Amino acid sequence: MKLIKAVMAGSVWKVLVQPGDLVEVGQDVMILESMKMEIPVSAEISGKVKEVKTNEGDFVNEEDVLVELE
Amino acid sequence: MKGETTVTIDVKSQETSIHNRMEKIKEGGDPKYHEKNREQGKLFVRDRLKLLFDPGFELEDALFANCLTEDLPADGVVTVIGKMNGQVVCVIANDSTVKAGSWGSRTVEKIIRMQETADKLKVPLLYLVDSAGARITDQIEMFPGRRGAGRIFYNQVKLSGKIPQVCVLFGPSAAGGAYIPAFCDIVIMVEGNASMYLGSPRMAEMVIGEKVSLEEMGGARMHCSQSGCGDVLANTEEEAIKLARDYLSYLPANYSTKPPVQGAIPPKVFEKTIEQIIPTNQNTPFNMYDLIDRLIDEDSFFEIKKLFASELITGFARIEGSSIGIIANQPRIKGGVLFHDTADKAAKFITLCDAFHIPLVFLADVPGFMIGTKVERAGIIRHGAKMIAAMSEATVPKISIIVRKAYGAGLYAMAGPAFEPDCCLALPSAQIAVMGPEAAVNAVYSNRIAALPPEERAAFTQQKREEYRQNIDIYRLASEMVIDGVIPGNSLREELTRRLEAYSSKYVVFTERKHPVYPV
- The sign one gets for the Cα dihedral B158, B85, B38, B230 is positive
Mean pLDDT confidence for B228-237: 98
**What region does B510 belong to: left with phi over 0, alpha with psi -120 to 50, or beta?**
alpha
Reply yes or no on whether the pLDDT at B1 is more than 60: no
B140 has a chain A CB within 8 A of its CB: no
Q: What is the pLDDT, as a whole number, of residue B213?
A: 94
CA distance B28 to B46: 9
Which pLDDT band, with edges at 50, 70 and 90, does A66 fall under?
A: very high
Nearest to B335 among A37, A61, A62 (CB): A37
Banded model confidence at residue B102, pLDDT cuts 50, 70, 90: very high
Instruction: Choose the weakest-confidence range: A33-47, B220-234, B320-334, B415-429.
Output: A33-47
Q: How far is CA B329 from the centre of its chain?
A: 17
Closest CA to B186 of B174, B169, B162: B169
How many angstroms separate the first and last alpha carbons of chain A?
6
**What sign has the CA pseudo-torsion B112, B116, B117, B122?**
positive
Cα–Cα distances in angstroms (integers) from residue B372 to residues A35, B379, B385, B413, B448, in the given order: 10, 11, 17, 19, 26
Mean pLDDT score of chain B: 96
Give the whole-angstrom CA distance, residue B205 versus residue B197.
14
Q: Does residue B177 surpass a pLDDT of 90?
A: no
Cβ neighbours of residue B268 under 8 Å, at least 6 residues apart? B293, B294, B298, B299
End-to-end CA distance of chain B: 76
Confidence tier at A33 by pLDDT (50, 70, 90):
very high
What is the C-alpha to C-alpha distance for residues B309 and A56, in angstroms, rounded to an integer? Answer: 27
- Strands A37-42 and B165-174, sheet pairing: unpaired
> What is the three-class DSSP state of B143?
coil
Give the amino acid at B29.
Answer: G
Q: What are phi and psi of B165, to 5 degrees?
A: -120, 120
Reported confidence tier of residue B10, pLDDT bands at 50, 70, 90: confident
- Chain A residues close to B442, C-beta within 8 Å: none
Asked whether the predicted pLDDT for residue B8 surpasses 70, the reply is no
The whole-angstrom distance between residue A32's C-alpha and the CA centroid of its chain comes to 8
Q: Is the pLDDT of residue B6 over 80?
A: no
Per the CB < 8 Å rule, is A8 touching B334?
A: yes
Average pLDDT over residues B83-88: 97
Residue-wise pLDDT tens digits, B378-425: 999 999 999 999 999 999 999 999 999 999 999 999 999 999 999 999
Does the pLDDT value for residue A1 go beyond 80? no
Bridge partners of A30, per DSSP, are A15, A41
B333-370 residue pLDDT tens = 999 999 999 999 999 999 999 999 999 999 999 999 99
The two most distant CA atoms of chain A are separated, in Å, by: 32
The contacts found for B136-139 with CB under 8 angstroms, 24 or more apart, are B138/B103, B138/B104, B138/B105
Looking at this protein, which amino acid is placed at residue B485?
G
- Closest partner residue to B335 (CB to CB) among A34, A61, A62 is A34
Q: Provide the shortest C-alpha distance from residue A40 to chain B (in Å).
A: 7
CA angle B355–B356–B357, rounded 5-degree value: 105
Out of B11-15, B168-172, B254-258, B323-327, pick the least confident: B11-15
**pLDDT at B520 exceeding the cut of 90:** no
- E strands of B423-509, at which residues? 423-426, 431-433, 485-486
Among the partner-chain residues B367, B372, B435, the one whose CB lies closest to the CB of A9 is B372
Contact A38 B283 (CB under 8 A): yes
| Tens-place pLDDT, residues B441-475 | 999 999 999 999 999 999 999 999 999 999 999 99
Q: A4 vs chain B: nearest CA distance in angstroms?
A: 15
Which residues 6+ apart lie within 8 Å of B67 measured at CB? Answer: B21, B25, B73
Is B367 in contact with A35 (Cβ distance < 8 A)? yes
User: If you ran DSSP here, which 8-state letter would residue B85 be given?
Assistant: T
Q: Among A37, A40, A62, whose Cβ lies nearest the Cβ of B374?
A: A62
Q: What is the pLDDT of residue B175?
A: 82
Contact assessment for residue B73 and residue B95, using Cβ atoms and an 8 Å cutoff: yes
Quote the CA–CA distance of B292 and B313 in Å, as a whole number: 10
Q: Would you state the pLDDT for residue B5?
A: 55
Give the span between the Cα atoms of B258 and B506, in whole angstroms: 12
B88 pairs with which residues across the strands?
B83
**Which candidate in A31, A32, A36, A39 is best for mutational testing of the B interface (most B CBs within 10 A)?**
A36
Best of A37, A61, A63 to disrupt the B interface (most B CBs within 10 Å) is A37
pTM: 0.95
Buried b (16+ CB within 10 A) or exposed e, B196-213: bbebbbeebeeeeeeeee
- How does residue B176 score in pLDDT terms, banded at 50, 70 and 90? confident
Residues B143 and B135: their CA atoms lie apart, in Å, by: 9
Is the torsion defined by CA of B199, B200, B202, B204 positive or negative?
positive
Cα–Cα dist B259/B253, whole Å: 8
* 3-state DSSP assignment of residue B52: helix
Q: What are phi and psi of A22, to 5 degrees?
A: -95, 130
Smallest CA–CA distance from B337 into chain A, residue: A35
How does DSSP assign B167-192, residue by residue? EEEEEEEEGGGGHHHHTSSEEEEETT
pLDDT at position B9, please?
Answer: 65
Q: Of B44, B50, B51, which Cα lies nearest the Cα of B240?
A: B51
Residues listed for chain B: 520
B400 vs B487: CA distance, rounded Å: 12
pLDDT digits (tens, 9 = 90+) for B368-390: 999 999 999 999 999 999 999 99
Instruction: Please give the Cα distance from B223 to B243 (Å, whole number).
Output: 17
Average of per-residue pLDDT across B104-130:
98
User: What type of residue is B153?
Assistant: F
- Could B337 and A37 be called an inter-chain contact, meaning their C-beta atoms sit closer than 8 Å? yes
- Name A11's bridge partners: A33, A59
Q: What are phi and psi of B422, to 5 degrees?
A: -70, -25
Task: Name the residue in chain B with its Cα closest to that of A63.
Answer: B374
* Separation CA B357–CA B252 (nearest Å): 8
Is pLDDT of B49 > 80? yes
Residues β-bridged to residue B402: B364, B426
Query: Which residue in the set A35, A40, A61 is minimally distant from B337, CB to CB?
Result: A35
Q: Are B306 and B330 in contact (CB under 8 A)?
A: no
Whether residue B3 has pLDDT greater than 70: no
Q: How far is CA B73 from CA B14, B28, B506, in A?
A: 20, 6, 50
Q: How far apart are CA B451 and CA B458, in angstroms?
A: 13
